[in-house]
Homo-oligomer: A and B are copies of this chain.
Amino acid sequence: MHDEMASRGGTSRKPYHHGNLREALIDGAIAIIAEQDVAAVSLRKVARQIGVTNAAPYHHFENKTALLSAVAAEGFRTLVERGTAAIAAGATPREQMTALGMAYLSNAIEHPAHYQVMFRSDLHQAECEELEAVSGDAFGLLVGCIDRLREELGAQGDLLPLTLAAWSMVHGFATLWTQGALEKKTGIVDWKPMADQVLRMLETMVYSELEAMRDGA
C-alpha cells in the first residue's frame, strides 16, 4: 500500500497513518475473542493494542457493533470454507450432509467465543449486508445438501421445515456445548462421540422425512 517508514528519516518511528487499521482492528478483536471472550472486547482495548488512540477505530467502523459484525462475517466466511471443503470430500449426498454437520460442529466448538459472536444478533449492526450475505451462503450449503438428498430419493414438496429442523439440531448442540450446558449436565468432556451419535440420528430423521415425502402426501 504505502511505505510505513516514510516520515522522520532514519530511525523507525510510528507512522501517523497505520496503513491497514481496519483489518488490524478485526484481527485484534478476533484475537481477544479467541483468548478471552466477547465481553473482553472493547474498542479502546483493541485500539490500544494496535497502538492508536480511542477514536481511531471510528474512522473505519461506525460503532462497536459494526466491528463485531465484521468479526461475525469473518467467522461465517471460514465456516463456508470448511463446509464447502467437507461437502467436496463427500462421495454421496448422505456423506456430504454428515460431513457438513461435523464441519459446523468442529468450527463452533473449536472457536466457541467466535461462534457466539456469529449468532448474537444483539452484537450485530442492523442490516449489515456483508454479514447477511455470507451467513446466507452458509445456510445455502445446508439447503444444497438437503436438496441433493431429496433428488437422490425422488421426493418432492416443501423442504423448508426439514431444513430448519436439521439446522436447529446441529446449531442447538453447538450452542449448548459452547455454553457449557451439556458438559455441566452430563459430565461428558469429549464432544465428538456424542456429536457422532447426534449426526447419525439427524441422518435417520432426514431420510425418514424425505421418504415420507416420496411415498404419500
Q: CB < 8 Å: which of B38, B176, B208 contacts A168?
A: B176
Given the contacts A139-B185, A201-B205, A204-B208, A119 and B168 also touching, CB distance less than 8 Å = no
Residues of chain B within 8 A of A176, CB atoms compared: 119, 164, 167-168, 171
Residues of chain B within 8 A of A168, CB atoms compared: 168-170, 172-173, 176, 198
Q: How far is the CA of A160 from the CA of B209 in the complex (A)?
A: 23
The answer to whether A164 and B171 touch across the interface, beta carbons within 8 angstroms, is: no
Residues of chain B within 8 A of A1, CB atoms compared: none
The answer to whether A184 and B37 touch across the interface, beta carbons within 8 angstroms, is: no
In the complex, residue of chain B having the shortest beta-carbon distance to the beta carbon of A205: B205
Q: How far is the CA of A102 from the CA of B77 in the complex (A)?
A: 34
The answer to the question of A85 belonging to the interface, with a C-beta cut-off of 8 Å to chain B, is: no
A residues 38-64 touching B (CB-CB < 8 Å): 38-39
The answer to whether B186 and A164 touch across the interface, beta carbons within 8 angstroms, is: yes
Interface size class of A (residues with CB under 8 A): 35 or more
Contact with B along A100-141 (1 / 0, CB 8 A): 000000000000000000011110000000001001100100
Residues of chain B within 8 A of A184, CB atoms compared: 132
Q: Point out which of A121, A135, A172 has the most chain B C-beta atoms below 10 A from its C-beta.
A: A172
Residues of chain B within 8 A of A5, CB atoms compared: none
Contact with B along A166-195 (1 / 0, CB 8 A): 011111110110011110111000000010
The answer to whether A161 and B37 touch across the interface, beta carbons within 8 angstroms, is: no
The answer to the question of A165 belonging to the interface, with a C-beta cut-off of 8 Å to chain B, is: yes
Given the contacts A175-B171, A175-B172, A175-B175, A161 and B122 also touching, CB distance less than 8 Å = no
- Apart from A121-B181, A168-B170, A205-B205, 8 more pairs, CB < 8 Å: A37-B122, A136-B185, A168-B176, A169-B172, A175-B175, A204-B205, A204-B208, A208-B208
Sample (20) of A-B pairs whose CB atoms are under 8 Å apart = A37-B122, A39-B122, A119-B181, A120-B179, A121-B181, A135-B181, A139-B185, A161-B194, A161-B198, A164-B194, A165-B169, A165-B173, A168-B169, A169-B172, A171-B175, A171-B176, A204-B208, A204-B209, A205-B205, A208-B208
